Amino acid sequence: MLEQLPARPAESHALDVARTLPGSSIVCTTVGRGQAALELAAERPTASVTAWFLDLFPHHAAVAAWGPPPAGLRAVCTADMPEGPYDLAVVPLSKNGEAELSRDILQTSFQNLAIGGRLVAAIDNRHDNWLREQLAEIGETVRVRPAVSEDADTVAYIVEKTRELTKIRDFSCKLVFRDGERLLTAVTRPGVFAHRRIDPGARHLLNAVDVAPGTHVIDIGCGSGCVALGLAARDTSVHVHALDAAARAVACTLQGAALNGLENVTVSLDCEGHVPEEGSYDLALANPPYYSDFRIAGLFVDAARRALAPGGTLLIVTKQPNWYIENLPNEWNEVAQEPVKNYHLIEATRA
């Protein structure tokens, strides 16, 4: 069981405000390990509390830290908030978070409130104007709840829902991109890697790969699925399995496969590298993130090693090649590096 850490300031402030409000059907987002949801469920044993996550990593960390949860608490990792109606929504945000994703979460939280329900939103910036402006656009009265402590750098707001929203914004995007002679359509949403664009790293992966008929490909950390869609569209005998820890990435990739009529793409939600038919893939592709001191990159490499058949090829695109050059030779053969503009392609063979 993971240690349950204290809630981050914005979540702690949102929790303090939520405690003053009634609510027996509650939904909470989190900037940590779901501490607000856990505390509210423990304090209200007859309440139904949903902790909503977009990514499996924080979902699993929260569940592991909770231990045996209160009876009314559930954790879900889905592309969209589970439908309400809720009478209380608790949404802590980070001032460094993605603005469009924050707008999306605020809108869906308010949409899923019952009439008379309340949204509590907090942010780690006591001088905030941005969040207050977003809430004011809902058209309801915004009540401010400053932090009690003068040292706290947070502010919280309460918005009561008196009517349904008259204007619902669609934050999703259909992206058309070219692979060779083919034009393909991908779907992106806030919270999905490279929202509204094809990432240059993904483009370099597509340009570097020439798949033979019948090839089994795994795309690890697929994002919106541009790489998976591009390779699958080249030959119907090629099978591509894509996986990602982000629920919206999985949903977008599935939508993209359907839009392009690609029946040779499968997708799974996973953060531990579990793949169907381990040891059966010919090619593994990855565009790992740069944060977490290469911890996520290490997970991607381990997943590729389990997925590939002996002699299978791993191809990674990165701006930081040194970690791979230093570490891959310990368990991989024929490790090679090729610079491509501002990126590097790392190729290795499964021993």
In a domain, 167, yes or no: no
> CA–CA distance from 301 to each of 27, 218, 316 (Å)?
36, 12, 9
What is residue 293's predicted lDDT score, i.e. its pLDDT?
Answer: 86
Tokens of 47: 């309440």
**CA 252, chain centre distance (Å):** 11
Residues 266-297: tens digit of each pLDDT: 999 999 989 889 999 999 999 999 887 899 99
In a domain, 44, yes or no: yes
CB 224 within 8 A of CB 204: no
**Average model confidence (pLDDT) across the chain:** 96
Neighbouring C-beta atoms of residue 292, cutoff 10 Å:
12
Please indicate, yes or no, whether residues 136 and 199 belong to a single structural domain of this protein: no
What is residue 4's predicted lDDT score, i.e. its pLDDT?
Answer: 79
Instruction: Give the end of a domain, one of 96, 130, 160.
Output: 160
Helix, strand, coil % (nearest 5) of the chain? 30, 30, 40
Please indicate, yes or no, whether residues 154 and 180 belong to a single structural domain of this protein: no
Judged against a pLDDT cut of 80, whether residue 225 lies above it is answered with yes
Please indicate, yes or no, whether residues 104 and 232 belong to a single structural domain of this protein: no
Residues 111-124: tens digit of each pLDDT: 999 999 999 999 99
Instruction: Give the end of a domain, one of 93, 125, 160.
Output: 160
Strand-pairing partners, residue 48, are 25
Please indicate, yes or no, whether residues 139 and 187 belong to a single structural domain of this protein: no
In a domain, 166, yes or no: no
What is residue 48's predicted lDDT score, i.e. its pLDDT?
Answer: 98
What is residue 18's predicted lDDT score, i.e. its pLDDT?
Answer: 98
Task: Tell me the C-alpha distance between 107 and 129, whole Å.
Answer: 17
Q: The CATH number of the domain where 322 resides is what?
A: 3.40.50.150
Domain that residue 73 falls in? 9-160
Judged against a pLDDT cut of 90, whether residue 226 lies above it is answered with yes
Please indicate, yes or no, whether residues 211 and 88 belong to a single structural domain of this protein: no
Please indicate, yes or no, whether residues 103 and 182 belong to a single structural domain of this protein: no
In a domain, 109, yes or no: yes
In a domain, 320, yes or no: yes
Give the total residue count for the chain. 351
Please indicate, yes or no, whether residues 47 and 142 belong to a single structural domain of this protein: yes
Neighbouring C-beta atoms of residue 341, cutoff 10 Å:
8
What is residue 134's predicted lDDT score, i.e. its pLDDT?
Answer: 98
Question: In the chain, how many domains are there?
Answer: 2
CB 274 within 8 A of CB 241: no
The pLDDT of 326-338, averaged and rounded, is 97
Please indicate, yes or no, whether residues 183 and 213 belong to a single structural domain of this protein: yes
Residues 72-124: tens digit of each pLDDT: 999 999 999 999 999 999 999 999 999 999 999 999 999 999 999 999 999 99
Instruction: Give the end of a domain, one of 134, 160, 186.
Output: 160
Q: Dihedral angle at the C-alpha atoms of 73, 77, 78, 81, nearest 10 degrees?
A: 40
In a domain, 3, yes or no: no
Judged against a pLDDT cut of 80, whether residue 26 lies above it is answered with yes
> CA–CA distance from 87 to each of 93, 114, 138, 164 (Å)?
20, 6, 17, 14
What is the band of 1 on the pLDDT scale with cuts at 50, 70, 90? low
Please indicate, yes or no, whether residues 17 and 133 belong to a single structural domain of this protein: yes
Sign of CA dihedral 106, 107, 108, 112: positive
The pLDDT of 172-194, averaged and rounded, is 97
Per-residue DSSP letter, 192: S
> CA–CA distance from 58 to each of 55, 76, 143, 235, 294 (Å)?
6, 11, 30, 37, 17
What is residue 56's predicted lDDT score, i.e. its pLDDT?
Answer: 97
Cα 63-109-97 angle, rounded to 5 deg: 70
In a domain, 250, yes or no: yes
Pairing of the two strands 86-93 and 25-28 = parallel
Please indicate, yes or no, whether residues 148 and 270 belong to a single structural domain of this protein: no
Judged against a pLDDT cut of 80, whether residue 236 lies above it is answered with yes
Judged against a pLDDT cut of 80, whether residue 2 lies above it is answered with no
- Which residues lie below 8 Å from residue 199, measured CB to CB, with a gap of 6+? 193, 223, 226, 287
Please indicate, yes or no, whether residues 130 and 216 belong to a single structural domain of this protein: no
The percentage of the chain sitting over the pLDDT mark of 70, rounded to a whole number, equals 100
The pLDDT of 185-212, averaged and rounded, is 97
Neighbouring C-beta atoms of residue 283, cutoff 10 Å:
23
In a domain, 4, yes or no: no
The pLDDT of 34-56, averaged and rounded, is 98
The pLDDT of 195-202, averaged and rounded, is 96
Please indicate, yes or no, whether residues 299 and 243 belong to a single structural domain of this protein: yes
